A and B are shown apart, each in its own frame.
Chain A
Amino acid sequence: MNYSDTSIAASVTAPFLSLENVRKTYPGVVALDGFSMEVRPGEVIGLVGENGAGKSTLMKILGGVTTPDSGTITVDGTAHDRLSVEGSLGSGIAFVHQELNLFDNLDVAANIFFGREPLRAGPLKLVDRAKLRTMVAPLLKRVGANFSADTPVATLSLAQQQMVEIAKALSIEARLVILDEPTSSLPLAETDKLLDVIKALKADGISVIFISHRLHEVERVADRVVVLRDGMLAGTLPKSDIGHDQMVKLMIGRMLKEREKASEAARAPGAVALAAKAIRTPAYPGRPVDLDIRRGEILGLAGLVGSGRTELARVFFGIDSKLGGALELDGKPLALGSAADAVAHGIFLVPEDRKLTGILLDLSIAQNISLPNLPAHARRSLVSKSAETATAEKQKKDLGIKAPSVQTRTGTLSGGNQQKVVLGKWLAMNPKVMILDEPTRGIDIGAKAEIYGLMRALADAGVAVLMISSDMEEVIGVSDRIAVMHEGQISGILDKDRFSQENVLLLAVGKQPK
């Protein structure tokens, strides 16, 4: 290294990291192709792209887990053909993954310096707890933590746990922190805290790569946005050009129609299909809920994580029994003893956890789709494979499920296609009330748009649609009305003319909008 004055001056503006013409192929797939980008010190890069666009491959290359086929990676002025895991860490690249890697039975300090604890002198090698605390305190301060070093991690919220991860990154003197989907499981209010931490990192001259599907958050923090599409650089947006529509356009190569559709005038509401009268759920036994879901509308159900939305859906679907109150379907009293009863009445649920409750991963597409309506696909109690295949083929075609055949195991499909199978099994029957719990979580933008289109088509066909979502853009963009839950109760219902992120947020934290 040359330490002359000119090179120091140059290094201020020189990129910390630059990739040139990086290419990586997997059997049958080109994951990254001629990809170049650079990250300057103190710069926040938003990295966006659909699932499968190459983001994960890029991360693996930067983390030293995968070797690129060709191309150059320059870190801090040194050019490499590839990075090793140690090399990546050693040059100050730190990752905060979507799935946190914390020991929740240990406290914050022990997590941050796990395996690198300061030890007391002596043969017992006891941990020097006092020193540990003095080392951790400044790190926590830098990430703006409002908890102390000896807090057990299990008691922290998700956002706070992410702060611990970031503090861990800072403890190894990271110069580039890569955040992979950090906000995807965070409730709205906690997201703000995390974005503040990113700004603080930037102020300290640390570079950040922020990977997210939540484009409005990217919009808020990024200095520059790099868009990946099909393994190639689809474009780079400078600060002045960062906007939702520009990003989406680059990501999918076209504009989405659904947002325009959503801005149409409010529709005439239909008759009430499903009505909850002072329903009390097991999660909030003391809080009665009143809610009407009308035919032909998409009712958005917003609220913070844990506000009781999923629990309400479980009662509507007969999975949990209500503790009090009454349900009405088309004005008639409705008694639900099980999900089978709800299904018999045409009330269907697309559950939040696709892999655990939505589909059976070991069964084929056809078997999943016929499952709730199997007697209709059977003659004298024996399953008719041809009837089953015919139903599945129709749904596969209507929904555009991408799979080699309807006999394909659903476990091998992408998240978006799995979700379409869940939808398909209900659409093959006659839905009266369709409840969708976080229907687009973990699904890429193209498939999202298709699912929005489907929900709208259902509503247009007279189905009452209830959509639970934590994604603010989605709730506002797709719903005809928005009900907001706060601690087990409906804190307010917004009509189209009062839709705004601010109003939803205020209701979600239990305040009334202006």
Chain B
Amino acid sequence: MSKKDLGLLILILVVGAIVAIINPRFLLPINLANTSNLIGLFGILSIGQAFVIITGGIELSVGSVVALLGTLFIDFIAVRGMEWPLAFVLILVLGAIIGLAHGWLITRLKLQPFVVTLCGLLIYRGVARFYTADGTAGFAFGQNFPDLEFLTAGRSYGVPNSFIALIVISIVMWVVLHRSVFGRYLYAIGKNEEAAKYSGIRTGRVVIAAYVICGVLTALSAIYFAMYTRSISPASHGQFYELYAIAAAVLGGFSLRGGEGSLIGVILGTVLLQELQNLVNLLGIPSSLNFAVMGGVILIGVLVDQQWGVFRERRLMVDATRKSAAGAAAE
């Protein structure tokens, strides 16, 4: 765990302690379970985003993808009567195809990630609304999928299964990002794509793979979100989720220029964001201020981090000067 991650963890614990003191309901099992469920849902989404951001790209369409794929998933199993495991796989494949398309447009046709995924944001939202004719996709009364519901919205030993899914995915993706050849390529490309290319890395393929990973994880979280809300109105479902994911990555130490950030960081970033949401609810802050609180905390966090860096650099210089002065005096 890096110092940055440690600082974030301490911040999470301090904020948690303060909230718990002001309103002890924060520590009630039901509150913790609800919050960790949300952490699981948003965490899966944010990991996907992190893989794109590490290459120096950005994926703005994830909120709309959550809406579109969630709508399709519910439609497949509730209306069209498709077996849920088949629908599950199909949705993941669709997520992969979306990622592949974005990656291809960005690397082969040299479009900017911001532009490609902004268009995606608009397109998928529109398609989702058209698909349901602006209606709501949901389950019929009494319709049940016990296995699926257990896996997505259920709990094991009181822990939400979505949170357990996040932990499993985190461990796998931590290895991929921090230990694998592919992860090294991602960092190298994020730091300096030209130099990576001159080292014989097929940078295009690696970047496409990052978008595919993002697409698949987004699709997975779309299923979780769908099973969590159980009914989807495509006009608003998943709105701003891309910003939650980007905020989690930035809080977790990712640089939007690419090449920087850790998996633990993005998870902690997600935890802090959900903790803040919870704080707004528990402390009786008007929920209209929700976004303002989050924005304020992210800004302060990034500022402190930046200033801390400047302070440390200065201290190093002062130390060096002192040492040399002491050395000169000794001569």
Interface residues of A (CB under 8 A from B): 25-28, 317, 319, 338-340, 342-344, 349, 351, 356-363, 367-368, 371-372, 374-375, 378, 381-383, 425
Distance between Cα atoms of A340 and B185 in the complex (Å): 13
* Contact call B202/A357, Cβ cutoff below 8 A: no
Instruction: Provide the residues of chain A in CB contact with B327, threshold 8 Å.
Output: 27-28
Interface centre among B179, B183, B323 (most CB of A within 10 A): B179
Distance between Cα atoms of A343 and B197 in the complex (Å): 11
Number of A-B contacts (CB under 8 A): 82
Q: Contacts A27-B324, A28-B324, A383-B181 given: A356-B192 contact, CB under 8 Å?
A: yes
Task: Give min CB distance, A382 to chain B, whole Å.
Answer: 5
Q: B173 an interface residue at 8 Å Cβ cutoff?
A: no
Which of B181, B200, B324 meets A381, CB within 8 Å? B181
Which of B181, B196, B197, B323 meets A27, CB within 8 Å? B323
Task: Give min CB distance, B309 to chain A, whole Å.
Answer: 15
Given A351-B198, A357-B198, A371-B199, 19 further pairs, Cβ under 8 A: A25-B328, A26-B324, A28-B324, A339-B199, A339-B200, A357-B195, A357-B197, A360-B188, A363-B187, A363-B191, A367-B184, A368-B199, A371-B201, A372-B201, A375-B181, A378-B180, A381-B180, A383-B179, A383-B181
* Contact call B202/A319, Cβ cutoff below 8 A: no
Q: B320 an interface residue at 8 Å Cβ cutoff?
A: yes
Q: B321 an interface residue at 8 Å Cβ cutoff?
A: yes
* Contact call B324/A371, Cβ cutoff below 8 A: no
Q: Which residue of A lies closest to B331 (CB)?
A: A25
* Contact call A382/B324, Cβ cutoff below 8 A: no
Encode B296-331 as 1/0 by CB contact (under 8 A) with A. Answer: 000000000000000000000000110110011000
* Contact call A371/B196, Cβ cutoff below 8 A: yes
Interface residues on B, range: 20 to 34
A-B contact pairs, 20 of them (CB 8 A): A27-B321, A27-B327, A28-B324, A339-B197, A339-B198, A339-B199, A344-B200, A360-B191, A361-B192, A363-B188, A367-B184, A371-B188, A371-B196, A372-B200, A374-B181, A375-B181, A381-B181, A382-B179, A382-B180, A425-B199
Interface centre among B179, B182, B183, B184 (most CB of A within 10 A): B184
Distance between Cα atoms of A368 and B188 in the complex (Å): 9
* Contact call A343/B188, Cβ cutoff below 8 A: no
By Cβ-Cβ distance, the 10 closest A-B pairs, closest first, are: A343-B200, A27-B324, A372-B200, A371-B199, A357-B198, A372-B199, A340-B200, A340-B202, A374-B181, A362-B191
* Contact call A360/B181, Cβ cutoff below 8 A: no
* Contact call B195/A356, Cβ cutoff below 8 A: yes
Distance between Cα atoms of A479 and B331 in the complex (Å): 50
Distance between Cα atoms of A338 and B185 in the complex (Å): 16
* Contact call B185/A374, Cβ cutoff below 8 A: yes
Distance between Cα atoms of A344 and B179 in the complex (Å): 24
Instruction: Provide the residues of chain A in CB contact with B198, threshold 8 Å.
Output: 317, 319, 339, 349, 351, 357-358
Interface residues of B (CB under 8 A from A): 175, 179-185, 187-188, 191-192, 194-202, 259, 320-321, 323-324, 327-328
Q: Which residue of A lies closest to B317 (CB)?
A: A27
Task: Give min CB distance, A473 to chain B, whole Å.
Answer: 27
Q: Which residue of B lies closest to A341 (CB)?
A: B200
Distance between Cα atoms of A28 and B179 in the complex (Å): 38
Instruction: Provide the residues of chain A in CB contact with B201, threshold 8 Å.
Output: 340, 371-372
Instruction: Provide the residues of chain A in CB contact with B199, threshold 8 Å.
Output: 339, 343, 360, 368, 371-372, 425
Q: Which residue of B lies closest to A380 (CB)?
A: B180
Distance between Cα atoms of A425 and B202 in the complex (Å): 17
Instruction: Provide the residues of chain B in CB contact with A381, threshold 8 Å.
Output: 180-182
Which of A28, A356, A368, A382 meets B181, CB within 8 Å? A382
Instruction: Provide the residues of chain B in CB contact with A342, threshold 8 Å.
Output: 200
Instruction: Provide the residues of chain B in CB contact with A378, threshold 8 Å.
Output: 180-181
Distance between Cα atoms of A425 and B194 in the complex (Å): 16
Q: Contacts A340-B201, A381-B181 given: A356-B259 contact, CB under 8 Å?
A: no
Instruction: Provide the residues of chain A in CB contact with B191, threshold 8 Å.
Output: 360-363
Q: Which residue of A lies closest to B321 (CB)?
A: A27
Distance between Cα atoms of A381 and B175 in the complex (Å): 10
Instruction: Provide the residues of chain B in CB contact with A351, threshold 8 Å.
Output: 198
Q: Which residue of A lies closest to B200 (CB)?
A: A343
Instruction: Provide the residues of chain A in CB contact with B200, threshold 8 Å.
Output: 339-340, 342-344, 372
Q: Contacts A378-B181, A383-B180 given: A360-B324 contact, CB under 8 Å?
A: no
Instruction: Provide the residues of chain A in CB contact with B194, threshold 8 Å.
Output: 356-357
Task: Give min CB distance, B148 to chain A, whole Å.
Answer: 32
Distance between Cα atoms of A359 and B192 in the complex (Å): 9
Instruction: Provide the residues of chain B in CB contact with A339, threshold 8 Å.
Output: 197-200
Interface centre among B195, B201, B259 (most CB of A within 10 A): B195
Distance between Cα atoms of A219 and B327 in the complex (Å): 41
Q: Which residue of B lies closest to A26 (CB)?
A: B324
Instruction: Provide the residues of chain B in CB contact with A343, threshold 8 Å.
Output: 199-200
Task: Give min CB distance, B205 to chain A, whole Å.
Answer: 9
Instruction: Provide the residues of chain B in CB contact with A349, threshold 8 Å.
Output: 198
Instruction: Provide the residues of chain A in CB contact with B328, threshold 8 Å.
Output: 25
* Contact call A359/B195, Cβ cutoff below 8 A: yes
* Contact call A338/B202, Cβ cutoff below 8 A: yes
Task: Give min CB distance, B55 to chain A, whole Å.
Answer: 14
Distance between Cα atoms of A349 and B197 in the complex (Å): 11
Task: Give min CB distance, A217 to chain B, whole Å.
Answer: 31
Distance between Cα atoms of A360 and B191 in the complex (Å): 7
* Contact call B202/A383, Cβ cutoff below 8 A: no
* Contact call A358/B195, Cβ cutoff below 8 A: yes
Q: Which residue of B lies closest to A357 (CB)?
A: B198
Instruction: Provide the residues of chain B in CB contact with A317, threshold 8 Å.
Output: 198
Distance between Cα atoms of A351 and B198 in the complex (Å): 8
Task: Give min CB distance, B232 to chain A, whole Å.
Answer: 37
Distance between Cα atoms of A317 and B199 in the complex (Å): 10
Distance between Cα atoms of A444 and B241 in the complex (Å): 54
* Contact call A360/B202, Cβ cutoff below 8 A: no
Instruction: Provide the residues of chain B in CB contact with A358, threshold 8 Å.
Output: 195, 198
